[in-house]
Amino acid sequence: MVSAIAARAQEHPKEHPKEHPTAKAISTADLEKAIRANIDEAAKANNGRFPAKDDVLNKTWQLTLVRVHTDKLTQLDASTYFACVDFKADDGTLVDVDFYFKDDAGQLKRTDTTVHKINGQPRYNYEKKGDFWVRVPVGQAPEKKEHPKGEHPKF
C-alpha cells in the first residue's frame, strides 16, 4: 500500500524581523550536501553500502550511490525538502530512492526515505492537489518515463 505524503504550500507567519531573526534559506547545494553526508554516514556503518528498506519486497537493499538528481531537489513547504537519488545494487538493479528532509533550526534532518522505482518502474508518482503534493499510486497518475518533467514536485 502506498501512503500519501502531503506537503503544504509555502506559508510563513507574519513576523517582525527585528524581534525574530530570519532563518537562512536552504539552497539546492545545502540539500545535496545533506543528502550526500546522510548517505556517506549510513554507508560507513553498513560496509560501504546505503541500506534502503523496501516494504513492498520486504527486504533491505544494499546500494551504491549513482547520482543525486540536482534537478529534482525540491522544497515542498516552508520546512520540508525532497530529493530523488539513484542507486545501484550489487546485482545491477537500479533503485530510485526519494529522500525527505526537514529544516530544524538550519540543520537538515532526514525524516523519511522511500523506494520510488526499481529499474525505472515507478511505484508511485506525485500529483498536486490544491496547495498539497501527494503521492499517488501509478495507476492513478499518467504513466511517465524515467524522470520526466513534472514527475517530482518542484519549487
Average pLDDT along the chain: 79
What is the total count of domains within the chain?
A: 1
Whether 137 maps to a domain, the answer reads no
Its domain, for residue 66, covers: 28-120
Domain at 64, CATH number: 3.10.450.630
Please answer whether residues 51 and 38 qualify as being in contact, where contact means their C-beta atoms are separated by less than 8 angstroms: no
C-alpha–C-alpha distance, residues 41 and 89, integer Å:
18
110/27: higher pLDDT: 110
**pLDDT above 90 for 139:** no
Whether 22 maps to a domain, the answer reads no
Whether 139 maps to a domain, the answer reads no
C-alpha–C-alpha distance, residues 129 and 101, integer Å:
21
User: What are the tens digits of pLDDT across the range 80-138?
Assistant: 888 899 999 999 999 999 999 999 888 899 999 999 999 999 999 888 777 666 778 88
